[in-house]
Amino acid sequence: MSRNILIVDDEEDVQAIAKLGLEMGAGWHVLTASSGKEALHVAANLQPDVILLDMMMPDMDGRATLKQLKANPVTKKIPVILLTAKVQ
């Protein structure tokens, strides 16, 4: 049985690379969202097994998205992996 992962990132190339790797390397079914608002909708309606969430997005960043995911009884138990490409 294939597991579902939701990739949330505002950069299409990051989505594409992650999607390719997860589909080919692990056999996951990949859902995508380009914003926090879209992620909230997809997560509530499609109930992925896990969410890969970018921390740095315009409008609603990863922290705000995570807060709303955890506040919603429908999505609060979905595990979330946070990521960022920021170098410090």
CATH code for the domain in which residue 39 is found: 3.40.50.2300
pTM score above 0.85: yes
Residue 43, in any domain of the structure:
yes
- Give first-to-last CA distance, the chain, whole Å: 39
Overall domain count for the chain: 1
Q: By C-alpha distance, which of 52, 61, 40 is closest to 83?
A: 52
Instruction: Give residue-wise pLDDT tens across range 22-38.
Output: 999 989 999 999 999 99
Domain-located, residue 44? yes
Among 4-8, 55-59, 81-85, which stretch is predicted with the lowest mean pLDDT?
81-85
Query: Which residues form the domain of 13?
Result: 4-83
- 45: pLDDT strictly greater than 60: yes
70 in any annotated domain: yes
Q: Is the pLDDT confidence value at 1 over 80?
A: no
User: Tell me, what's the pLDDT at 44?
Assistant: 98
| 55 pLDDT more than 90 | yes
Q: Is residue 88 part of a domain?
A: no
Cα within 13 Å of Cα(74), Cβ side: 10
